[in-house]
Amino acid sequence: MNKQRLIHAIVAGVLLSAAYARADAGKTSDLTVLPFEQLLGMEVTTAAKIARQVTDEPSAVTVVTADDIRAYGYHSLADILNSIRGLYTTYDRAFQYLGGRGFGRPGDFAGRILLMIDGYATNDNIYNQSYIDNSGLIDVELIDRVEYVPGTGSVAYGNNAYFGIINIITKKGRDFGGTQFSAEGMSYGGKKGRATYGNRLQNGADVLLSFSWLDSDGQNLFFPEFLDPANENPNVASNHAVARHLDYEESKRVFGKLQYENLTLEAAYVDRRKGIPTASYGVEFNAYNQYWDNNGFVSAKYDLDLGAKLKSSTHAYYGNYLDRGAGMYLVGGMWREHNLGQWWGIDQKFVSTAFEDHTLVFGAEYRDDFQMDLHDPVATSSHSRQTISAYLQDEISLTDQWRLNLGARYDYASDLGSEVNPRIAVMYALQPQTMLKVAYSTAFRMPATYEKYYTDGEQLPNNRLQSEYVTTTELILQHDFTPQTRLISSLYHYRTHDLITDVDIDANTNHFINVGSSHTTGIEMELERKWDNGVRLRASYSHQDSIDQNNQWMVNSPRNLGKFNLTFPFMQHWLRSGLELQYTGSRRTKGNNELGSYTLANLTFTTERPVYGLGASLSLRNVFDRNYAAVAPDGLTQDSLPMDGRNVWLQLTYDLK
């Protein structure tokens, strides 16, 4: 099918489905005459309303719900995040890296955005990375909602909450109410299976247990940078610059959650292997190169009421991370390294409403990164870090309209010394529907073990590496036109300093030093609207100007990002379609080239509710087969990497109640 016809077919399909989309005519009889027990058993049609943010009032939060995840056929956290205002991801066929607030410097494993699952900070202690692809801890089908909290969050969470926080809230077992099986097929030889059991037991305990397995062949990729017309390379492996069978991926996940009264236990584990086709870090082209990542955690949370005006929440956690990299070099043969991190911590938080008009949140955290080990043929080293933190926040209700949020967090790290990060925010409700917020805050990120201690002979360690900092001022206007229509707009300024930056020492060696800085001014606007007939719309535009320490446009920082999401039911609410458009402006590469802007269209059809337990979802991604490229990170010969063309994804689910 040529492009023109495909466009026509899609437009016709969308129009046709829109014609079918209609509201249910609600019939009402007097419900008050029915016995209460009977009412409890009756089904309701939920009215459309904009999800309210749960976390962090001083920010303007974007929420993506389980319904959105299904309607738009998201199958990784990266897909979800790409739909959110001001966020973008960059893929180098090893990892998806998250960029936001104009900051997406490639080659920084650290996303500088804290990724939390039910309050547990998932970033590892080797790279400080947030894993948002198949190396991440969670299957998207287990997610109830994802909240993106833009802005610095060190006041509440300390390390890594540099540009924002991604907060994943997982589903409850009772959301499944039985067993669910899922089978998926996707382009490039991908398949995935999942089995999930979730329920509330007789004794009130809520359990959720899920396993999944993904396997993908990937593509044979052509990288013109490795063409060797004069046949100068004695190694025949260069294969006309086509990397064969090196884009494969395998990922296995386990997730479990148990909630009983005030106690929540949670555990997750992921094992992912990814073939690396890009010949990164100078490995031989078209030869063996693989990253193998393990991530896991166990967490326990206990909530307790100490009287009517004091609540306590205790959170203990253990996490580990292991990465094994192997690559073939022309000189030196097989390079193998493995890096292992382990940590545990305990956080004791109190919320007090004892003083009139004040809500106090205070507590302390101890975290022991007791293992941060690096092993490669050049060097082996072991490190550890203990962090003690204390925090206090006070939200003061001055009047019905005015609120003040003051807070500070103190962090002391055994190898870095102490930090204090404050936040001051004023919130003013012009009317119940209109909220104005002004916030000033600072945040920091500790150097990752990789940045501070790693060496392979070319990259050298820097024991004097310190934390990096950011200062933010933000003005937010939030207006609910109706309970179903919300506008968020935000104007912000970020200034970073002592940025941890990879710098060449001479022709052969490099290291990380606190030399970088940047300043960013941005504006974001987002409109969300829901209709009672099941139509939902979210559209956003963001513009950001990011300038680095050399007064240059920041690498991999698109000035303009646009997102458009529209979903509606059709065929009498039996099917739903989800249309997604994403515009990414041009970006500067590390080789100082400009990569062109692009618009991607994704289209998904899903069944609205299971029939005889069966559900289906079909997604076309990059519908118009747009050619586009991602900025390549450091360590790659390529300056940019071509991304996937049109591809398809199909999921079938079966619910056993």
CA dist 530 and 534 (Å) reads 7
Nearer to another protein, 267 or 406 (CB): 406
Complex with another protein: residue 234 or 612, whichever CB lies closer: 612
612 binds another protein (CB under 8 A): yes
Contact between 462 and 498 under an 8 Å Cβ cutoff? The reply is: no
Q: Which is nearer to another protein, 55 or 637 (CB)?
A: 55
Q: Binding residue for another protein (CB under 8 A) from 2, 19, 42, 550? A: 42
Characterize 6-30 residue by residue with b for buried, 16 or more Cβ atoms within 10 angstroms of its Cβ, and e for exposed.
Answer: eeeebeeebeebeebbeeeeeeeee
Q: Which is nearer to another protein, 302 or 370 (CB)?
A: 302
Residues 6+ apart with CB under 8 A from 80: 64, 68, 69, 74, 140, 143, 146
Q: Answer yes or no whether residue 618 interacts with another protein by CB under 8 A.
A: yes
CB atoms inside a 10 Å sphere around CB 467? 18
483: contact with another protein by CB under 8 A: yes
What's the closest the beta carbon of residue 612 comes to another protein, in angstroms? 7
Pick from 2, 4, 19, 28 the residue near another protein by CB under 8 A.
Answer: 28
**CB-based contact 408:384 (threshold 8 Å):** no
**Per-residue interface string for the shown chain with another protein, residues 299-328, x marking contact by CB under 8 A:** ---------x--------------------
Q: Find the part of the chain contacting another protein (CB under 8 A) among 449-457, 463-471, 581-589, 615-623.
A: 615-623
Site for another protein in 354-383 (CB under 8 A): 356-357, 359
Among 2, 5, 52, 507, binds another protein (CB under 8 A): 52
| Residue 575: other Cβ atoms inside 10 A | 16
Nearest CB to another protein, comparing residues 12 and 39: 39
Residue 596 is given by DSSP the state P
Q: How far is the CB of 415 from another protein (least distance, A)?
A: 37
Q: Which is nearer to another protein, 257 or 273 (CB)?
A: 257
Are the C-beta atoms of residues 321 and 126 closer than 8 Å to each other? yes
Interaction mask 403-422, another protein, x per CB under 8 A: x-------------------
The verdict on 177 binding another protein (CB under 8 A) reads yes
Contact positions with another protein (CB under 8 A) in 236-265: none
Q: 592: burial class by Cβ within 10 Å (0-12, 13-18, 19+)?
A: exposed
Distance of CA 312 to the CA centre of its chain: 28
State which amino acid sits at residue 328.
M
The three-state secondary structure class of 501 is strand
Write out the two tokens for 208: 């959720």
Q: Distance between CA atoms of 555 and 544, rounded to whole angstroms? A: 13
Pick the binder of another protein from 144, 175, 217, 228 (CB under 8 A). Answer: 175
Give me 273's structure tokens: 């292997």
Sorted by sequence, the CB contacts under 8 Å of residue 346 that are 6+ apart come out as 314, 315, 316, 317, 365, 366
- We find the least distance from the C-beta atom of residue 144 to another protein, in angstroms, to be 12
Considering only the C-alpha atoms of the chain, give the largest distance between any 2 of them, rounded to a whole number of Å: 89
- Please tell me the distance from the alpha carbon of residue 207 to that of residue 171, in angstroms, as a whole number: 10
- Residue 53, token pair as written in the block: 């943010």
Q: Does 1 bind another protein (CB under 8 A)?
A: no
What does each C-alpha distance from 506 to 458, 459, 575, 638 come to in angstroms?
A: 10, 11, 60, 21
Of 288 and 654, which CB lies nearer to another protein in the complex structure?
654
Task: Kindly tell me which of 40 and 331 has the beta carbon lying closer to another protein.
Answer: 40
- In angstroms, give the least distance from the CB of 282 to another protein: 39
The single residue among 2, 5, 19, 30 that binds another protein, judged by CB under 8 A, is 30
642 makes contact with another protein (CB under 8 A): no
Which residues are at the interface with another protein (CB under 8 A)? 26-28, 30-32, 34, 36-37, 39-47, 49-50, 52, 54, 174-175, 177, 185, 204, 308, 353, 356-357, 359, 397, 400, 403, 429, 432-433, 435, 480, 483-484, 572, 574-575, 605, 607, 611-612, 614-616, 618, 648, 650, 652
